[in-house]
Structure 1
Amino acid sequence: MAERSTPVRRIGLVEDHESVALGLAAMLADQADLELVCAAPTVDALLAQHDDLDLAILDLRLSDGSSPKCNVEQLRAAGLETLVFTGAENAFFVRSAARAGVLGVVRKSEPAAVVVDAIRIAASGGQVASTEWAAAIDGDPELGDVGLSPRQLEVLELYASGEKLDRVARLTGLAPQTVNDYLQRIRAKYAEAGRPAPTKTDLYKRAIEDGWLPIPEREDARRRA
């Protein structure tokens, strides 16, 4: 009886650093069931090259300034599930991608065997469990969890990003006093977790730490982009 051949999963990589693309290609070179078909610096470029891929591997921070959430949504709209391959240095980016429905998150610093195994699982449609994945869903395990409700989180994101209390009330459909009550509860939860946030600036810092707001870019990084 003839042996059934192993299906080859076709992989596309969205990555604008050539060294990373070359490294991933080397990792997959001797894998009979995985083939890196193409690498592109943007999602648009990847989709223009190939429409018969089994999995997209996505770097979160791309030089075109695109958001992880939009990139994942664009890939999934094209019928491509996505695995995030990242340095995971920005909790906001990781969480944003997780919310958009990626199959998992794997660090670039992981051993090659771990990366290959994650790609194999994702290419077959499986979820890739990892510390980064858990952190994206549940928050950074090294930070005290404050257990914010979805409504409290909505208020925190708006207020900490610079909106005034009255405008937060208008945007959320809540009464100003209700927004103020939410903010008091949020501050109390942070204090209970050992991460006090008595001022608006402190709330902004906590929101960045927890990945609810993006890390502000340095001026020199913006000039290079």
Structure 2
Amino acid sequence: MDHRSSGTTTDVGTVRIGMVDDHQSPVWGIERILERQDDLTLIGSAPTVGDLLTEHPDLDVVILDLRLNDGTTPRENVNTLSEHGIVTVVYTSGEHPDLLRSAARAGTLGVVLKSASEDEILAALRAAASGEEVLTTEWAAAIDGDPNLDAVDLSPQLQRVLTLYASGGTSASVGSELGVTPDTVNEYLKRIRQKYVDAGRPTRTKLDLFKRAVEDGWLPMPHRSRAD
């Protein structure tokens, strides 16, 4: 586990910032930018959200890389941080709009490109700390490119069925995992497919279901050579 910290105590009114990235160079860049700020302090960093919260649970804002090697999705990570009362700013190269939309569904306050200027990064963090959306062209494009951003709402049970089945499971194996019959799993799958049809995003094949699960943040994007 690789953590860097600028300290665990801050002055009253100082925004406590954490960073989740499994590559160290972006952390060094943010650390350099924040070390000269009186109102923003990088408390620590970690390669996963779980690691960061274990070391530094009392944060105000987390800078979150979209693509992490632990298999988590942006949606899961934003939700986890939100449950701890921490707001999120996505820090990305901007090449994965599906992941941006996944983060948007979970309520992240916005996105900042890794190519952004220091002033843009600082403005974004200050805005997020105040509860304001971080409005950028990339953020608007990601949201506008998904007209059904909030159209598909799956219960926890349907989410579990989708992720297990779309990951390669069968009706029998999913049923065994969840303690229900294969017929019940097939009924759940019919409900899931109908919800996507109603949203204008049909899922005729198992591959379609996998794509929808990735698009909506239920499954992580398949790993490939990273740009983030």
Into which bin does the TM-score normalised by the smaller protein fall? 0.5 to 0.7
Q: Which runs of 5+ in 2 are unaligned?
A: 1-10
Partner SS for 1:206: helix
Q: 2:202 aligns with which of 179, 196, 205?
A: 196
Mapped to 2, the partners of 1:55 and 1:190 lie a distance apart of: 33
Give the number of equivalent residue pairs: 208
Q: Give a deviation string over 1:125-147, Cα, whole Å, max 9, x none.
A: x36466899999x9972457652
Query: Are the counterparts in 2 of residues 103 and 127 from structure 1 also a CA contact under 8 Å?
Result: no
Matching of residue 85 in structure 1 with residue 90 in structure 2: yes
Q: 1:107 aligns with which of 109, 112, 128?
A: 112
Mapped to 1, the partners of 2:205 and 2:175 lie a distance apart of: 19
Partner SS for 1:158: helix
Specify the code of the residue in structure 2 equivalent to 1:83: T
Structure 1 length as normaliser, TM-score?
A: 0.60
Distance 1:156 1:92, change over 3 A: farther
Mapped to 1, the partners of 2:191 and 2:58 lie a distance apart of: 50
Greater Cα offset, 167-176 or 195-204: 167-176
| Structure 1 position 121, deviation (Å) | 4.1
The match for 2:160 is 154
Query: Are the counterparts in 2 of residues 161 and 204 from structure 1 also a CA contact under 8 Å?
Result: yes
Mapped to 2, the partners of 1:144 and 1:98 lie a distance apart of: 7
Distance 1:94 1:26, change over 3 A: farther
Partner SS for 1:147: coil
Structure 2 length as normaliser, TM-score?
A: 0.60
Partner SS for 1:208: helix
| Structure 1 position 114, deviation (Å) | 4.7
Partner SS for 1:215: coil
- Bigger-Rg structure (1/2): 1
Provide the identity percentage: 41
Q: Give a deviation string over 1:72-103, Cα, whole Å, max 9, x none.
A: 86x899x893534322627469747986xx86
Q: Give a deviation string over 1:166-220, Cα, whole Å, max 9, x none.
A: 22223334443232122223223333434332221221122222222111123xx
| Structure 1 position 164, deviation (Å) | 0.9
Query: Are the counterparts in 1 of residues 197 and 203 from structure 2 also a CA contact under 8 Å?
Result: yes
CA RMSD of aligned residues (A): 4.8
Distance 1:14 1:172, change over 3 A: closer
Greater Cα offset, 183-192 or 109-118: 109-118
Q: Which runs of 5+ in 1 are unaligned?
A: none
Partner SS for 2:17: strand
